[in-house]
C-alpha cells in the first residue's frame, strides 16, 4: 500500500500531516514478518488475485494496481502462476523507495510485462494506456480516504475496467466498520460480489467484485480520490 502524493524530501498529506519518505517504508516492514497481520492480509489478497487470473478468458490479461506499494501482492503471485505469460500490468506508486523495491522485484522475477510507475495513483491519467483492465487492485486505499471518496472511487472504477473485470479491494473493519457499506456501494455501482473475506482474529476485510454493468469510457481527467490517511490503521 502506498500514498498517492508526489514524493519529495518531506511529503504533506491533505490533512496537514507531514511525514518523511521513510513513513510508508516503515509501514511495509511487517510484511517481512510471516506472522504479522499485514502478511495475513497479503495471503488473502494473493488468493483472490490468483483466482481472478485463473478466471480470465484465454488471451492477454491487463492489470492495474492503485497505490501499489511494494507490489508484493501481484508480483509474488505472477512468479509461478500459469497465466503469467498473458499478463501485462501497471503498478502506480508515489513513494520512491517503494517504487524501487517493486521495480527490483519485477526485474528479479523476470516479469517483463509488468511496469512500475512512480506517479499520483489518485488521478485517472496515471492509468492511460494500461486500461481497460481485466483486474484492478485497490488494496490499502479505502482505509486512507474519506467515505465520500470511497463511494466516488467505486463509481469511477468502471472507467478503468474491461467488460467483466474483477476489482480486488481491502478495508479495515475497526469501528465504525464501513465494509458492509462498501459492499453495497459496489453492488449499486454495477459490480457483483465474488467473495468477501474477514478472517476471525483480524480487523481486515478483502473483497472481490466483478463488473456486470457496462464499462464507462476512460476519462483521464478524473480524480479518483484524495489521500488523507496516515498509515495508523490497517487499510
Residue 221 lies in a domain: no
* Domains in the chain, number: 1
pTM of the model: 0.89
Give the integer Cα–Cα distance in Å for 44 and 207: 10
Domain span at residue 62 reads 10-211
Residue 232 lies in a domain: no
Q: Yes or no: say if 62 and 160 are a contact pair by the CB < 8 Å rule.
A: no
Residue 141 lies in a domain: yes
Residue 230 lies in a domain: no
Residue 1 lies in a domain: no
Q: Yes or no: say if 193 and 214 are a contact pair by the CB < 8 Å rule.
A: no
| Joined grid coordinates for residue 224 | 479518483
Which H or E element spans position 135?
A: strand 133-138
Q: How many CB atoms lie within 10 A of CB 13?
A: 19
Residue 155 lies in a domain: yes
Structure confidence at residue 235 (pLDDT):
58
pLDDT along the chain (235 residues), means of 10: 33 31 72 87 98 98 97 97 98 94 97 97 98 98 96 98 98 96 98 97 97 98 86 52
Name which of 132, 158, 167 is nearest 224 in CA terms.
158
Q: Yes or no: say if 74 and 91 are a contact pair by the CB < 8 Å rule.
A: yes
Q: 129 — alpha (psi -120 to 50), left (phi > 0) or beta?
A: left
Q: Yes or no: say if 211 and 131 are a contact pair by the CB < 8 Å rule.
A: no
What is residue 223's DSSP assignment?
B
pLDDT 10s digits, 14-31: 222 333 445 778 878 877
Q: Yes or no: say if 121 and 2 are a contact pair by the CB < 8 Å rule.
A: yes
Structure confidence at residue 20 (pLDDT):
40
Q: In a 3-state reduction of DSSP, which class is residue 206?
A: strand
Residue 222 lies in a domain: no
Here the CATH number for the domain that contains residue 171 is 3.40.50.150
Amino acid at each position: 500500500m502506498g500514498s498517492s502524493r508526489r514524493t519529495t524530501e518531506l511529503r504533506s498529506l491533505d490533512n496537514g500531516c507531514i511525514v518523511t519518505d521513510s513513513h510508508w517504508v516503515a509501514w511495509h516492514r511487517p510484511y517481512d514478518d510471516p506472522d504479522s497481520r499485514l502478511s495475513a492480509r497479503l495471503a488473502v489478497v494473493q488468493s483472490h488475485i490468483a483466482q481472478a487470473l485463473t478466471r480470465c478468458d484465454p488471451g492477454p490479461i491487463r492489470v492495474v494496481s492503485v497505490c501499489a506499494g511494494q507490489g508484493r501482492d501481484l508480483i509474488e503471485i505472477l512468479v509461478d502462476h500459469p497465466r503469467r505469460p498473458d499478463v501485462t500490468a501497471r503498478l502506480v506508486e508515489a513513494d520512491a523507495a517503494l517504487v524501487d523495491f517493486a521495480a527490483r522485484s519485477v526485474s528479479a522475477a523476470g516479469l517483463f510485462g509488468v511496469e512500475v510507475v512512480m506517479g499520483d495513483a489518485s488521478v485517472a491519467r496515471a492509468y492511460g494506456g494500461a486500461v481497460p483492465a481485466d483486474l484492478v487492485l485497490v488494496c490499502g486505499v479505502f482505509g486512507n480516504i474519506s467515505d465520500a471518496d470511497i463511494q466516488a472511487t467505486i463509481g469511477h472504477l468502471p472507467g478503468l475496467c474491461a467488460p467483466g473485470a474483477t476489482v480486488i479491494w481491502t478495508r479495515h473493519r475497526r469501528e465504525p466498520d464501513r465494509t458492509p457499506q462498501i459492499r453495497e456501494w459496489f453492488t449499486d455501482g454495477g459490480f457483483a460480489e465474488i467473495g468477501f473475506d474477514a478472517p476471525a482474529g483480524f480487523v481486515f476485510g478483502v473483497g472481490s467484485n466483478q463488473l456486470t454493468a457496462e464499462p464507462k469510457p476512460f476519462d483521464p481527467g478524473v480524480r479518483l480520490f484524495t489521500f488523507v490517511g496516515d498509515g495508523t490503521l490497517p487499510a
